[in-house]
Amino acid sequence: MPVRALARVNVGAIERNVARLVREASPAAVCAVVKADGYGHGMLPTARAALAGGATTLAVATAEEARALRAGLPDARILLLGAVSDEELPAALEAGAEISAWSLELVEALAAAGRPVRVHVKLDSGLGRLGTRDEEEATAVADAVAAADHLELAGAWTHFATADERGDGFLAEQLARFKAWAEPLRARHPGIVLHAANSAATLRDPATHLDLVRCGIAIYGLDPFGEDAAERDLEPALELVSYVAAVKPAAPGESAGYGRRFVAQKETLLATVPIGYGDGYRRGLSNNAEALLHGRRIQLVGTVSMDNVTFDVGAAGLGPKVGDDVVLLGAQGAAGVTAEDLARRLQTINYEITCGISVRVPRRHHRDGEAVEG
Ligand SMILES: Cc1ncc(COP(=O)(O)O)c(C=O)c1O
């Protein structure tokens, strides 16, 4: 019997996407963002592939992610992008992560820990989230890091609010504000690394590259602008597959699924596929998604339930059989369903599609078809 539901992840694709971003960003270096379990792709295999593709640094959001990454990659440079609470600090330090800071309190806590730590000072140049908006405070934090025993001022950074909205002028404003603060800082602390760009900025504007770009979505072969990843020479790494668990005829008037939201208008065949919102295949796709069977598109009918979903497989010549593979995300022959397609239907972004694939779905990693360690 086929596996009930499976996310197949091609680390070869991740490696090639990273290599493509390395070429794009050069001479800036590439930091691969592998937080949230590698955007649902599996953090460690993603991180290994990113390093193989030429990334110099890996970024995570939490101390726990840094700990898990360090356990698998003893020598990697790990940058912790997120806020670190007192409770999380010991784990972050134990992981040897480079820490983001924007307050003197955190610098004091880091200095008090008495161990070597690289620190990246964060300016909020307009996203309005983490970091200080106050350039003087950011400079004071940087100088305090540089003056502290054990601490090294390794970088200065910011994060863009609108990099994925082409034509918007705010990116340039943020960049100008960041550079006006960070360049004089670097003149006083030579060797610090300036970084700002995410995937969208990296692909949209070389002026944002500075010394290092932090790419997440594009390393997974997903399009940062929600458009066609292939047009940007990015290769989606993840496929979500399940199988036909049951096939039954439906006569006019017969329904499928909770709430009877699909009622057959004519004789057809329905296939039940054992995947649902418990797997992260969202209920919002009810009556509004396509999948692939035998390389052809099939229409989702009725309500997505927790563990099952139904497709109309009555098209002439399709010949559905129990056990046949169904591709919910990915390609079969020339046909494909992309995370961008599903995101558009759900009025969300491709990030949420892969991050949302739940822990119930095993990830199986391969390099262009050859199994690799998970
Ligand atoms: C601070 C920071 N930098 C970089 C990234 C990577 O962004 P993207 O996945 O759009 O490349 C993220 C992801 O959200 C982030 O939070």
pLDDT in tens, 199-226: 999 999 999 999 999 999 999 999 999 9
pLDDT at 373 (0 to 100): 77
The secondary structure of residue 192, as a DSSP letter, is: P
Alpha-carbon radius of gyration of the chain: 23
The distance of Cα 82 from the centroid of its chain, to the nearest Å, equals 15
Catalytically active residues are 35, 258
- pLDDT grade for 150, boundaries at 50, 70 and 90: very high
Q: What is the DSSP string of 86-136?
A: TTTHHHHHHTT-EEEE-SHHHHHHHHHHTS-EEEEEEB-SSS-SSSBS-HH
CA angle 42, 56, 234 (to 5 degrees): 60
Q: Is residue 193 a contact partner of residue 211, using CB atoms and an 8 Å limit? A: yes
**What is the C-alpha to C-alpha distance for residues 133 and 124, in angstroms, rounded to an integer?**
5
**58 CA to middle of ligand 1, Å?**
12
The dihedral of CA 260, 330, 230, 11: what is its sign?
Answer: positive
Helix axes 170-188, 135-147, angle to 10 degrees: 30
pLDDT at 2 (0 to 100): 80
Q: Is the pLDDT of residue 1 over 70?
A: no
45-103 pLDDT, tens digit each: 999 999 999 999 999 999 999 999 999 999 999 999 999 999 999 999 999 999 999 99
Nearest atom of ligand 1 to the alpha carbon of 214: 4
Mean pLDDT along residues 111-140 = 96
**32 CA to middle of ligand 1, Å?**
9
Nearest atom of ligand 1 to the alpha carbon of 199: 11
Task: Kindly report the average pLDDT of the chain as a whole number.
Answer: 97
Question: What residue's CA is closest to ligand 1, atom 5?
Answer: 198
At a CB cut-off of 8 Å and minimum separation 6, what does 23 contact? none
Long-range contact pairs involving 319-322 (C-beta distance under 8 Å, separation at least 24)? 319/294, 320/244, 320/247, 320/269, 320/271, 320/293, 320/294, 321/244, 321/247, 322/244, 322/245, 322/246, 322/247
Nearest atom of ligand 1 to the alpha carbon of 82: 1
Mean pLDDT along residues 236-248 = 98
Nearest atom of ligand 1 to the alpha carbon of 219: 11
159-173 pLDDT, tens digit each: 999 999 988 899 999
Question: What residue's CA is closest to ligand 1, atom 16?
Answer: 81
298-335 pLDDT, tens digit each: 999 999 999 999 999 999 999 999 999 999 999 999 99
**198 CA to middle of ligand 1, Å?**
5
Mean pLDDT along residues 236-249 = 98
Q: Is the pLDDT of residue 19 over 90?
A: yes
CB atoms within 10 A of CB 368: 11
Question: What residue's CA is closest to ligand 1, atom 8?
Answer: 216
> What percent of the chain shows pLDDT beyond 70?
100
**214 CA to middle of ligand 1, Å?**
6
Within 6 A (CB) of ligand 1 lie 33, 81, 159, 198-200, 214-218, 224
Q: Nearest Cα to 328, choosing from 265, 236, 263, 257?
A: 236
The secondary structure of residue 216, as a DSSP letter, is: S
